[in-house]
Amino acid sequence: LIFQFGHHGLNLFKHGWLSFDFFVIILSWAFPTVQVVRSFRCFRLFSRVEFMRHVMVALFGVVPKLGIIAALLLLMFYIFGVLFTEMFKNIYEDGRTSEDYFSSLGTTLFTLFQCMTIAGWPDIAREVMETYEWAWLPFVTWIVLSKFTMIQLIIAVLCQSLAHVSNEASDTQEDKDEISRLEEKIELLTKNIKTLVASR
């Protein structure tokens, strides 16, 4: 930090990553308990490695789309939460399940999140199916919609954005190559014109 400050002086603050380094180090000095903040300096790699830079541009480019997908997922959580709570809220009180999965909306939302991560959802579904044989239908519907559809949608949006950024980068490189070829042709034409003028 001292070398950077000595080399750049106050111009240090004109460079984004150097400013970032400066503030991260000052924070870690000011608050010794947050030494872990220094690990954020690894983000500088994003400016040095071209592929990582493309990934970051792609991630920032899909934030609005991911926001829409997240809002849709939250809406689905709420709809299925109300549905499961209404259908199965008394099942624990009646002693038909070993744990309380659906007595309140908050408990149901947590259970749905657990099911979405595929963590123990068959056990929950089988316990409920001992009382309601048709209970597999809402569970399978929730798993398909939340896990497979929504997660695949997020992956598709990320892949599309990464492909778009990669195509832009290759187009930029092609443009640079074309400019280099044109500059060579202009230089050759200039030499030919000078030769013609000199021969007269």
What does the mean pLDDT of the chain come to? 81
Our measurement of the distance from residue 101's CA atom to the centroid of its chain's CA atoms, rounded to an integer in Å, reads: 31
**pLDDT at residue 12, as a whole number:** 64
Looking at the fold, whether 97 and 32 belong to one and the same domain comes out as no
62 and 25 in a single domain? The answer is no
Write down the pLDDT at residue 74: 92
Residue 5 has pLDDT above 70, yes or no: no
- The residue among 183 and 44 whose pLDDT is bigger is 183
The structural domain count of the chain equals 2
From residue 2, alpha-carbon distances to 18, 29, 76, 120, 196 in Å are: 12, 14, 53, 53, 59
pLDDT > 90? residue 192: no
Q: In CATH, what number is assigned to the domain containing residue 61? A: 1.10.287.70
Between residues 93 and 38, which one has the greater pLDDT? 93
Give per-residue pLDDT as tens, 102-133: 999 999 999 999 998 888 889 999 999 999 99
What is the rounded (10 degree) CA torsion for 11, 12, 15, 18?
180
Inter-CA distances, 167 with 10, 58, 110, 142, 158, Å: 38, 11, 41, 36, 14
One domain, residues 12 and 62: no
What tens digit of pLDDT does each residue of 7-59 get? 667 676 676 666 777 777 777 777 776 666 666 667 666 667 777 777 777 77
Better-predicted residue by pLDDT, 134 or 175: 134
Do 116 and 148 lie in a common domain? yes
Comparing 29 with 65, the larger pLDDT belongs to 65
Instruction: Tell me the residue range of the domain where 9 lies.
Output: 2-48
Q: Within this chain, do residues 65 and 122 fall inside the same structural domain, yes or no?
A: yes
User: Quick one: 78 and 28 in the same domain?
Assistant: no
Q: Do residue 63 and residue 152 come from a single domain?
A: yes
Q: 76 in helix, strand or coil?
A: helix
Highest mean pLDDT among 98-107, 165-174, 188-197: 98-107
Predicted confidence (pLDDT) at residue 62 exceeds the cutoff of 90: no
